[in-house]
Amino acid sequence: MSEKTVSLSRRRFLGGMLTSAAAGMIGPSLITGKAFAAETKAADLTGVTHWGAFRARVVDGKLTEVKPFEKDIFPSDMLMGIRDDLYSPARVRYPMVRLDWLKKRHNSDTTQRGDNRFVRVSWDQALDFFYEELERVQKTYGPAGLYAGHTGWKANGVYHNCIAAMQRAVGLHGTFVKKVGDYSTGAAQVILPRVVGSTEVYAQQTSWPLVMKNAKNIVFWGSDPIKNLQAGWSTPAHDVYGYYKQLKDMVGAGKIRAISIDPVVSDTQAYLGCEQISVNPQTDVPMMLGMAHTMYTEELYDEDFVYDYCEGFDKFVPYLTGESDGQPKTAEWASKICGVSADTIKSLARTCAKERTQFIGGWCVQRMHHGEQWAWMLVVLSAMTGQVGLPGGGFGFGWHYNGAGVPTRNYVKVPGFTGSAPNGKPKYNGDFGKFSKTIPVARFVDSMLEPGKTIDFNGRKVTLPAIKMAIFTGCNPFHHHQDRNRMIQGWQKLETAIAIDHHWTATCRFADIVLPATTSYERNDIDGFGNHSRRGILANRKIVEPLFEARNDIEIFADLCKRFGQEKTFTEGRNEMEWLEHLYTQAQKGAKDKGIKMPSFAEFWGGEGYFEFDKASEKLWVRHEAFRKEPELEALGTPSGLIEIYSEEIAKLGYEDCPAHPTWMEPVERSHGGAGSKKFPLHMQSCHPKDRIHSQLSGAKGLRESYEVAGREPVYMSPADAKARGIKNGDVVRVFNDRGQVLAGAVVSDRYKDGVIRIFEGAWYNPAEGGKIGTLCKNGDPNVLTRDLRSSKLAQATTAHTALVQVEKYTGPALKVTAFDGPEMVKA
């Protein structure tokens, strides 16, 4: 099963899902760029997703056809998974309760969690259980015993926000433990405010027209926008791909030099036809230091910018030159670690210093042990060029997210349903005692296993609460978190776990109470079209009536609130359509203040269901330009108001794993000669997939079958690594280390550097023996193999990309993937 074979299989799937006219348009490449207006009929219903807007055709109450929204000329292939997602066998159909929990409640045998045996109950029974457990936990343990703070990529829509609904309802009952940070950018979002005064990672970037007009070089450092820009937090318009088409032409014509620094040939590199510098995994910081050393010793850096706009460069230089530790950070030194020749490092440093260079940083590189150092060092490199705040120069960490770089229009945003009710007061407002109210999200399993432990986090002490009950909605922590064995141990400490979802994810299988939620296709809502571009507002029409006994989250939590007399406070006395009109009208009022004329709600909803803001209002913009022009009036949010190359505040913290300036520190395990590489020589990447949104759409059979190999998640590896292990395309292989083992289907590809493999995150965990620690995962969940280790005391972030493994051809008994079959329904 080569990459070419996978692509052909994908085309056959897409062709079968679309009408013949549309099938020829979407194809396997996202960058086709064709309109769909001719395919649309007035009767088609609009829908919204994280991967794009669509039109739906319904016959006799069933979804029969999906087409991309005609305003999106670069639609994602993922739209073709919608019908299978809606009608998936993995749908949660009824309220269900784990067998032993039903018998013994909070005294159940928690080692049985994950065995997939559930009893069907009525909605009233399930919500009674839910409420009774809220009461018991608040009375017995107080708010420190309840965790309802986890979040994830909820379904689109401003009203049906499942996380807001859950936190509003649970918050009306009592206070609870919340999380801070996220898994996507955990290290970067903590270090960057201390370096440049803002989180940066989710921010709008310099407008693409200005980049292409002014940049001579674009460096994609661990970033793959072509793959990742398919998705957005609101509904993406995919306008950004038009700029990548232009960039491709400019790269081909030699007008812009594009370089991808990545051990893998990314989709972006393949599309643009740009250069690659194949760095050894986790060694980007030595390469950066080698570049900085070259700029400094050859006097290529912008001395005026460094001293006018930066703080602490003089304290960083002794480390760079080796004066402080005896090791000059030369290109030759860096080359031995990162695998890139010294000449290449020096050449790139000279190019970036002499010519306008836009650094585009991704997020995977900071999801490593000491990931803070990479983000910090990319800022330092850019600062040394003196180009921060110039069009086509400087750094950015959000280019692959939300269509960054597309100019923003004059717009208003439709407000959403919020996580706190106006004038609402909790029934229980207990004392957290010695425990902290908030925890770093990547340490929530630690709270289950080590309650009372005090950890350092970003300059403060956090005492981990003793979590006894956890509620999850619109998220799947059995995809988010690392080290399945440790997770299962933590889950066994919980007395009650509740999951609200529309698919039987592993989180549902490890829950005690599972409630069936609707998909966005089964309810009405409103969403923005275009994220950073703010192109318009879309109606999300209910396409079909809720399947089985699914209910939307607002209904679920309103019914829960009824049990303690807070239903009206929760709903504010409005039903679904009244809420949508209320939220739309709020936006309409804001639009009037901005000189934007919007149709009435009746006209919007009863008409096309789409309103577009004026394209003529787009404004070109340069990130950090205001700071560059007026460093005193537009100071950064750092203590000095400047870019902090050396941080006095971090120095005061005294964290041994996060010094006061960017520093190379060996990760706990590293391939290509690093720690642990003799036993487990392969570095495993587990980056964002290109065929789903994290674990969403895994239940869409046709889409899944277009990329899976041997009926399971693929693992990608180099020809040399495959040959050395006797592995061929299509083989089932065992990927393993001391933390666990998974089965996957081999795809041999010359796009992968020797010593590097990839299993995309989001594969559903499918243990051979449910709930058993150490069991084999049949479906290739990479987090069976990852390490649950902090990035540093500063960020306490995930280190999913610090993972070494070995691969061998699987010769054991045939094991069928059962992750998508739903639960075993039993009688009490």
Indicate the pLDDT class of residue 543, thresholds 50, 70 and 90: very high
Neighbour count for residue 593 (Cβ, 10 Å): 8
Q: Are residues 124 and 203 in the same domain?
A: no
241 domain residue, yes or no:
yes
Check whether 321 has a pLDDT greater than 70. Answer: yes
d(CA 183, CA 178): 15
Q: Give tens-digit pLDDT for 276-286.
A: 999 999 999 99
Contact by Cβ (8 Å): 238, 227: no
Q: Are residues 65 and 112 in the same domain?
A: no
Please tell me what DSSP assigns to residue 767.
B
Q: Are residues 192 and 179 in the same domain?
A: no
> Can you give the pLDDT at residue 32?
43
Domain end among 602, 620, 653: 653
Contact by Cβ (8 Å): 631, 624: no
Q: Are residues 381 and 452 in the same domain?
A: no
Q: Give the residue-averaged pLDDT of 609-615.
A: 97
Q: Are residues 326 and 195 in the same domain?
A: yes
Check whether 133 has a pLDDT greater than 50. Answer: yes
271 domain residue, yes or no:
yes
Q: Give the residue-averaged pLDDT of 314-318.
A: 98
Q: Are residues 533 and 577 in the same domain?
A: yes
768 domain residue, yes or no:
no
The residue segments making up the domain with residue 569 are 98-183+413-612
Q: Are residues 254 and 399 in the same domain?
A: yes
State the pairing for strand pair 275-277/257-261. parallel
Q: Are residues 259 and 297 in the same domain?
A: yes
> Can you give the pLDDT at residue 25?
28
Instruction: Report which of residues 287 and 23 the model is more confident about.
Output: 287
Residue 498's CATH number? 3.40.50.740
680 domain residue, yes or no:
no
Q: Are residues 25 and 143 in the same domain?
A: no
Residue found under tokens 């829960």: 560
715 domain residue, yes or no:
no
> Can you give the pLDDT at residue 43?
56
Q: Give tens-digit pLDDT for 329-381.
A: 999 999 999 999 999 999 999 999 999 999 999 999 999 999 999 999 999 99
d(CA 64, CA 440): 44
Task: Looking at 667-709, list the stretches that DSSP marks H as alpha helix, in order from N- to C-terminal side.
Answer: 701-705
> Can you give the pLDDT at residue 828?
85
359 domain residue, yes or no:
yes
665 domain residue, yes or no:
no
> Coil, strand, or helix at residue 768?
coil
Check whether 487 has a pLDDT greater than 80. Answer: yes
What's the mean pLDDT when you consider all of the chain? 94
Residue found under tokens 């986890």: 150
Check whether 30 has a pLDDT greater than 50. Answer: no
Domain end among 86, 107, 125: 86
Neighbour count for residue 492 (Cβ, 10 Å): 18
Cα 241 to Cα 76, 118, 527: the distances in Å are: 11, 46, 21
Q: Are residues 115 and 174 in the same domain?
A: yes
Domain count, the chain: 3
624 domain residue, yes or no:
no
Q: Are residues 550 and 422 in the same domain?
A: yes
Q: Give the residue-averaged pLDDT of 483-496.
A: 97
Closest CA to 281 of 809, 672, 558: 672
Q: Give tens-digit pLDDT for 754-772.
A: 999 999 999 999 999 999 9
Model pTM score: 0.95
d(CA 306, CA 316): 12
Residue found under tokens 């005193």: 632
Q: Are residues 198 and 279 in the same domain?
A: yes
> Can you give the pLDDT at residue 14?
46
- For residue 55, give the amino acid letter: R
Q: Give the residue-averaged pLDDT of 37-50.
A: 70
Residue 316's CATH number? 3.40.228.10
Indicate the pLDDT class of residue 3, thresholds 50, 70 and 90: low
> Can you give the pLDDT at residue 94?
98
